[in-house]
Amino acid sequence: MKHFFLATILAGAMSLPAFAADYTIIAPANPGGGWDQTARSLQTVMQQEGISSNVQVQNVPGAGGTIGLAQFASQQKGNANALIVGGYVMVGAILTNKSPVTLKDVTPIARLTGEYEAVVVPAASDIKTMADLVEALKKDPGAVSWAGGSAGGTDHIAVGLIAKAAGVDPTKINYIAYSGGGEALAAILGSQVTAGVSGYGEFESQVKAGTLRLLAVSGPERIAGVDAPTLKESGLDVVVENWRMVAAAPGLSDEQKAAVSADIEKLAKSAGWQEVLKTKGWQDSYLAGDAFNAQLEKDVAATEGVLKDIGLVK
């Protein structure tokens, strides 16, 4: 029994830092996806730069991050040590899921990164170019299955916009939602689906290894060092950027909010963070304060319009 208690005390002592941590970051997706990578990069850099000595990441996956968001908003109220990673996917998911908890229920701190979407097919696929894919889509929209993140997220929106630009009824697309980038990637690699859409970073190492074929990227211009046309070059007038942000808990005082914002600003300006952006292939889209809030409002309104346009939101 003595050992039993020892074990309990040991484990108890280990869990103590969980409550005394400087920051706990919620990644509202499965391990391996974009938000998870963002959260874990934040963790690494915050510790590296001495912004916080102890940072934890917790995965709360599902439904475009709305599960994590709902839990965060309810459980962390007033907790200045809690952060959640989110982004464009969450904006869409809140609308399509009619989530009772929205970004208004948390305290958005800053936009951190942007990433362009990539359209890929398995290396063994008959589809060689974006034109081939569009042709297949025109022939029978239902026969082309797309793997990507949660329903109503950036990936889903991108597929809808591609269909619309190709003159195909966007409500006919066959989109298979996965709760995180990792699971979707496995489905694409296993040729379970026709094509995959996700942030370029999630496909990069597979594209380099030649197991996935990159058909197009969704930026206004090509990504430096990446041999793939933009969607525009492929004849589809679509530009999609998946931005990611960090938010704090609801119910913070102005001082608490200012302290968190200062920490995040320090992070975004740090050399360590710039290094992470470079290695992950993320664009630096740091935007904070009122400018970010205004931009966020604009994005939410625009996203709602897009989702209605392509029939994801009635």
Partner 1 sequence: MATFDFLLQGLLVAAQPMNLLYALIGVTLGTAVGVLPGIGPALTVALLLPVTYRLDPGGSLIMFAGIYYGGMYGGSTTSILLNTPGESASIVTALEGNKMARAGRGGPALATAAIGSFVAGLIATLGLAFIAPYIVKLALVFGPREYFALMVLAFVTVSSAFGDSTLRGLTSLFVGLALSVVGIDQLTGQARLSFGVPELLDGIEVTTLAVAMFAIGETLFIAAQGDKGPDKVEAVRGSVWMSANDWARSWKPWLRGTIIGFPIGAMPAGGAEIGTFLSYAAEKRLTKHPEEFGNGAIEGVAGPEAANNASAAGTLVPLLTLGLPTTATAAIMLAGFQQYGLQPGPLLFATNPQLVWGLIASLLIANFMLLVLNLPLIGLWVKLLTIPKPWLYAGILLFATLGTIGANPSVYELGMLLAFGLLGYAMRVFGYPIAPVVVGLILGPLAEQQLRRALAISQGDYSVLFTSPIAAVLLVIAAAALIVPLILRARGRGEVLSQLAANED
The residue ranges that bind partner 1 (CB under 8 A) are 1, 3-4, 7-8, 10-12, 14-15, 17-19, 31-32, 36, 40, 43-44, 47, 53-57, 59-60, 62-64, 66-67, 70-71, 74-75, 93, 96-97, 99-101, 142-143, 145, 150-152, 174, 176-177, 179, 182-183, 185-187, 189-190, 192-193, 205-206, 208-209, 211
118, with CB counted inside 10 A (0-12, 13-18, 19+), is buried
Q: Which DSSP symbol is given to 311?
A: T
Compute the least distance from the CB of residue 171 to partner 1, in Å.
14
Whether 138 and 263 have beta carbons less than 8 Å apart is answered as no
Compute the least distance from the CB of residue 67 to partner 1, in Å.
5
Q: Which is nearer to partner 1, 83 or 236 (CB)?
A: 83
AA identity, residue 30: N
Closest among 228, 216, 204, 115 to 165, alpha carbons compared: 216
Compute the least distance from the CB of residue 292 to partner 1, in Å.
25
Strand partners, 87: 244
What distance lies between CA 173 and its chain's CA centroid? 21
Calculate the dihedral angle through the C-alpha atoms of 155, 276, 31, 96, rounding to the nearest 10 degrees: -30
Q: Which is nearer to partner 1, 26 or 287 (CB)?
A: 26
Compute the least distance from the CB of residue 288 to partner 1, in Å.
26
Q: Which is nearer to partner 1, 147 or 246 (CB)?
A: 147
Strand partners, 3: none
Compute the least distance from the CB of residue 300 to partner 1, in Å.
17
**DSSP helix/strand/coil, 77:** coil
